[in-house]
Amino acid sequence: MTLLTVHQLSKQYKDKLAVNDVSFQFTAGKCVALIGPNGAGKTTILRTLAGLIKPTSGNVQFSGQEVNTDIRSLIGYLPQYPVFYSWMTGLEFLIYSGELALLTKSEATKRAHALLEKVGIEDAKNRRIGKYSGGMKQRLGIAQAIIHKPKLLMLDEPVSSLDPIGRREVMTLMQELKKEMTILFSTHILADADEISDELLLLHHGQIVESGSMDEVRNKYQTSTIKLTFDNEPKFYQEKINQLSHVTASSIQNRLLHVEVTEVENARKEILAIASQENWPLVSFMVDRASLEDMFMKVVSK
């Protein structure tokens, strides 16, 4: 079932077109990554979906709702730089957030206790938020975003400002939450998107330049590289390797021969066959499949 449809969304800030005619949709139960460099328009899109800013043109439709109706009760949102009342305890803040979301005091209290346990900071529920670590604050922020049981959770760069420990804590929490709800999160850290998302939207200069499931995008742009090391200089073997039928290009980096190939298995057989026939001093042979970062660079350079 399609959960959210965005149609020809644009946002103009004076002389800057931050979002340019963006259209996409995704289904319920997915974890979708909005990927792009800083300034690509990710935050503008999320803030528009959250109802915090109005688009210059285009429309947004949530499943079962009229176009451009107020969908704030259906979504949870955590900005990139959330602000907390440092003098409040974690429990007080969640109860307060629940009441703002129109829960009764008893409902908000019950949900707050359950969520503090769910996000792993129950032991700190009576500690002032000003004493929380970055990872704890981010987990508290996610808890407030889902206290009213939204259908869609939106997170803007949820781990970009965290240290490695905090980042791992939040990524683990997101892995657990994606089993229960639909998540849309933005990131410029491609490894995070690769680790957790089911689908992706690649954003560049305010436009969606590629979208689809991780497998679809990989299959479309995937190339493979075989890395070879020799006892002597790899340049002695580069010319003959370039002549093989499944080799498209090669380069030498730090005495390592990088060979781009089309069909990995056939290329492997060809390279090993000629290495054996000519008694090359081959030390190592490694297949290195292109990362999401490699694929993103190919898309934006088109």
Highest mean pLDDT among 56-70, 208-222, 288-302: 56-70
* pLDDT of the residue at 290: 64
Give the pLDDT confidence of 266-286 residue by residue, as tens digits. 998 999 999 999 999 999 998
* pLDDT of the residue at 289: 67
End-to-end, the C-alpha distance of the chain in Å comes to 32
- pLDDT of 75 over the 90 cut: yes
* pLDDT of the residue at 49: 92
> CB burial class (10 A; 0-12, 13-18, 19+) of residue 171?
middle
Beta bridge partners of 210: 202
| Mean predicted confidence (pLDDT) in 24-34 | 92
Q: How far apart are CA 143 and CA 149, in angstroms?
A: 10
Give the pLDDT confidence of 245-267 residue by residue, as tens digits. 999 989 998 888 999 888 888 99
Average pLDDT, the chain: 90
- pLDDT of 294 over the 90 cut: no
| Mean predicted confidence (pLDDT) in 188-193 | 84
> CB burial class (10 A; 0-12, 13-18, 19+) of residue 231?
exposed
* pLDDT of the residue at 302: 64
SS3 content of the chain, % helix, strand, coil (to 5): 40, 30, 30
Do 147 and 101 touch, CB atoms closer than 8 A? Answer: yes
Q: How far apart are CA 284 and CA 138, in angstroms?
A: 43
Beta bridge partners of 177: none
Do 294 and 191 touch, CB atoms closer than 8 A? Answer: no
- pLDDT of 87 over the 70 cut: yes
Q: How far apart are CA 127 and CA 165, in angstroms?
A: 20
| Mean predicted confidence (pLDDT) in 179-201 | 90
Which is higher by pLDDT, 204 or 290? Answer: 204
| Mean predicted confidence (pLDDT) in 61-73 | 84
Domains observed in the chain: 2-219 (3.40.50.300), 222-300 (3.30.70.920)
Q: What distances in angstroms separate CA 111 from CA 92, 104, 219, 268, one per listed residue?
A: 12, 10, 42, 56
* pLDDT of the residue at 254: 85
Give the pLDDT confidence of 97-140 residue by residue, as tens digits. 999 999 999 999 999 999 999 999 999 999 999 999 999 999 99
| Mean predicted confidence (pLDDT) in 186-197 | 87
Highest mean pLDDT among 117-131, 166-180, 282-296: 117-131
- pLDDT of 164 over the 70 cut: yes
158 — phi, psi (to 5°)?
-65, -20
Q: How far apart are CA 28 and CA 138, in angstroms?
A: 24
* pLDDT of the residue at 176: 92
- pLDDT-derived band at 23 (thresholds 50, 70, 90) equals very high
* pLDDT of the residue at 43: 95
- pLDDT of 301 over the 80 cut: no
Least confident of 79-88, 161-170, 272-281: 161-170
Q: How far apart are CA 254 and CA 57, in angstroms?
A: 51
What pTM was estimated for this model as a whole? 0.81
Q: How far apart are CA 244 and CA 50, in angstroms?
A: 53
> CB burial class (10 A; 0-12, 13-18, 19+) of residue 16?
exposed
Q: How far apart are CA 193 and CA 227, in angstroms?
A: 25
